[in-house]
């Protein structure tokens, strides 16, 4: 089989990809916000509303792309790792859609995202032997440091939703920052030699706005390889914070607005921690990594 369909169910986003193994090209892609982790910090459960959003998104993409649900590779991440009712939720999704989600751990998530980024760098003809990669998700953030001989990965249990909904945001953010700082220090490497690369919704949103794209005109081909500076983060955060709700929805879509300030705050902190002034942004992530991994092992 030369074509594979993958689904990445994150803590906020639902992403579908149809991928051609022979050409290493994307055939179709789709993304929407489903709010998997909404309320999770308080209830420790995936809500009925989120469950309905997920099922509706699956049914929509089944009609849109006409894929066979029994042949889909579907993975899910931090929200399902944390939720006490994840088994019930996954069983319910399967009963209603015939798609079985596999909960993957943080290290697997990071390694598959890294695989996608390595292919993306090659595709965009960007040469770098040493890079730092961050993947800012809804419920967790993955940090990957890669060079020719070693790869270091760490998943941190804080993302744009969990920070936004934390009972004490300042404490949660300070602990998050301290944990990342300690992780970097244990590696004893010179980060000045490493290129800063970022993926996921927050960096791609800023990259899209920088390219004069909005939610409806978003184009991953334009976003991929965009250089985003720390000044860009500050500039577009101020634009979004000073926009009306209607203006913000037009720019970034619904289901994301309330989390973007937290996302950009996390993104900005990495510039400081890594002593970087710019980052190369990619839309590629976990769903692409799952597809590429399958292609490698089945062709």
Residue 272 confidence (pLDDT): 93
Both tokens assigned to 16: 């579908």
Lowest mean pLDDT among 122-131, 251-260, 282-291: 251-260
Q: Mean pLDDT across the chain, nearest whole number?
A: 91
List the beta strands (DSSP E) in 147-245.
151-156, 195-199, 226-229
pLDDT digits (tens, 9 = 90+) for 134-193: 999 888 899 999 998 889 998 898 888 889 888 898 999 999 999 999 999 898 888 989
Least confident of 18-32, 49-63, 88-102, 246-260: 246-260
Full set of structural domains in the chain with CATH: 3-106 (3.30.420.40), 125-286 (3.30.420.150)
Mean pLDDT of the 84-107 span: 94
User: What pLDDT is recorded for position 25?
Assistant: 86
Output the CA torsion sign for 238, 206, 156, 271: negative
37 backbone dihedrals φ, ψ, rounded to 5°: -95, 5
Distances (CA, A) of 45 to 85, 123, 159, 297: 6, 39, 17, 35
pLDDT digits (tens, 9 = 90+) for 10-29: 988 899 999 998 888 889 99
Least Cα distance to 181 among 154, 150, 147 occurs for 154
With bands split at pLDDT 50, 70 and 90, how would you rate the model's confidence at 1? low
pLDDT score for 231: 96
Percent of the chain scoring above 90 in pLDDT: 60
pLDDT of residue 175: 93
Average pLDDT rounded to a whole number, residues 207-218 = 92
In degrees and rounded to multiples of 5, residue 104 shows phi and psi of -105, 150
State the pTM of this model: 0.87
Give the model's confidence band at 64: pLDDT under 50 very low, under 70 low, under 90 confident, else very high.
Answer: very high
pLDDT number for residue 268 = 94
Element (H, E) at 254: none
Mean pLDDT of 119-126: 89
Q: How far is CA 182 from CA 64, 100, 136, 139, in A?
A: 45, 37, 18, 20
Judge residue 157's burial from the number of C-beta atoms within 10 Å of its C-beta, 0-12 exposed, 13-18 middle, 19 or more buried: middle
Instruction: List pLDDT tens digits, range 268-286.
Output: 999 999 999 999 999 999 9
Contacts of residue 39, defined as CB under 8 A and 6 or more positions apart, other chains included, come to 45, 47, 165
- pLDDT digits 0-9 by tens, 221-259: 999 999 999 999 999 999 988 888 888 888 887 767 778
If one compares 162 and 47, the residue with the highest pLDDT of the two is: 47
pLDDT at 7: 96
Query: Is the CB of residue 184 less than 8 Å from the CB of residue 176?
Result: no
Q: Is the pLDDT of residue 39 over 90?
A: no
DSSP letter at 70 equals G
Identify the pLDDT of residue 226: 95
């Amino acid at each position: 089989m030369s074509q594979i369909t993958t689904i990445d169910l994150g803590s906020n986003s639902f992403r579908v990809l149809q991928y051609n193994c022979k050409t290493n090209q994307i055939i179709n892609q789709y993304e929407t916000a489903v709010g998997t982790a909404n309320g999770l910090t308080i209830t420790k459960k995936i809500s009925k509303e989120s469950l309905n959003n997920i099922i509706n998104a699956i049914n929509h993409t089944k009609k849109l792309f006409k894929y066979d649900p029994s042949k889909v590779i579907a993975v899910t991440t931090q929200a399902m790792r944390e939720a006490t009712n994840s088994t019930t939720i996954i069983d319910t999704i399967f009963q209603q859609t015939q798609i079985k989600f596999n909960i993957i751990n943080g290290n697997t998530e990071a390694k598959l995202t890294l695989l996608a980024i390595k292919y993306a760098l090659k595709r965009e003809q960007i040469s770098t032997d040493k890079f730092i990669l961050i993947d800012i998700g809804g419920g967790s953030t993955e940090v990957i440091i890669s060079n020719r001989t070693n790869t270091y990965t760490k998943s941190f249990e804080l993302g744009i939703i969990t920070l936004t909904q934390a009972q004490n945001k300042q404490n949660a953010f300070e602990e998050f920052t301290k944990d990342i700082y300690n992780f970097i220090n244990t590696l004893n490497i010179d980060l000045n030699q490493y290129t800063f690369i970022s993926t996921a919704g927050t960096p791609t949103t800023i990259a899209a706005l920088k390219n004069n794209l909005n939610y409806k005109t978003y184009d991953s081909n334009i976003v991929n390889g965009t250089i985003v500076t720390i000044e860009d983060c500050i500039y577009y955060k101020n634009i979004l914070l000073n926009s009306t709700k209607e203006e913000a929805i037009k720019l970034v879509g619904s289901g994301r607005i309330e989390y973007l300030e937290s996302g950009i705050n996390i993104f900005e902190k990495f510039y400081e921690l890594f002593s970087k002034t710019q980052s190369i942004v990619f839309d590629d992530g976990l769903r692409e990594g799952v597809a590429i991994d399958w292609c490698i092992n089945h062709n």
